Chain A
Amino acid sequence: MFVCCLLIAPTLRAQDVTEPALKAAFVYNMAKFIEWPPEVLPDAAVFTVCVLNDRQFGEEFERTVSDRLFGGHRIAVRRVAPDGLFRSCHVLYASGITAAQVMAIDAALAGAPVLTIGDTDHFVQDGGIARLFLQNGRLRFEVNLRVARRNRLQINARLLALAARVVDGPPGGRP
């Protein structure tokens, strides 16, 4: 009993870190709760994270994953242009884009299993899968489960439980 108390995960208190470093670590950990269809992530494949616009996030993400693997896969970080080819990405991190651009990306992906993560106000309503935002200095996220299902991504229930909001609810839920 006593030992179990000592082993309980420590609580961390507020300590400011930089926002790009925090988001990079968050995206890396978030992806662990997502399951991609086996055909887009076969055993020897490189796990590709594409970054649109946010230079600082890209640099931090490269640093974050430089000596790490993702579920046994090597990780590549790629900068992409707004009209780029996203279908070969596993994760697309898009920062500061307009609603029209979000919709254009959603259309270009046409259901390809790409985890789209953004930071603009209506990112998930406009067709993105996960939106990161800061509330009182802390990182929070919301998820559009409908788009995730359509793009054939399985999101672990433990991740959904941490979301500030899940748009469109679980299967069989309210429309």
Chain B
Amino acid sequence: MTAVRIPPTLRGEVGGERQVEAEGATVRELLDDLAAKYPALGAQVLENGGVAPFVNVYLGGEDVRTLDGLETAVAPGQTLILLPAMAGGSC
């Protein structure tokens, strides 16, 4: 099982939890498993078979878009983090 951190914006979709668990060998499998368990979350995070534009998905602290995207392999002990895309401020 992989721990998945849920941002405040999406906690309503998972019963208020800050962190849930999902199973899968790749990021795609993790997100599919999440969507099966929490359909309302899946509807927000996934769009046309990919990650929705204003959602960032991180594995091991790195954006999966700069890894192998949804096909990025998940290693034991890694955490998946979902975040809304935020405008950086000053630097």
Co-complex (A, B): no
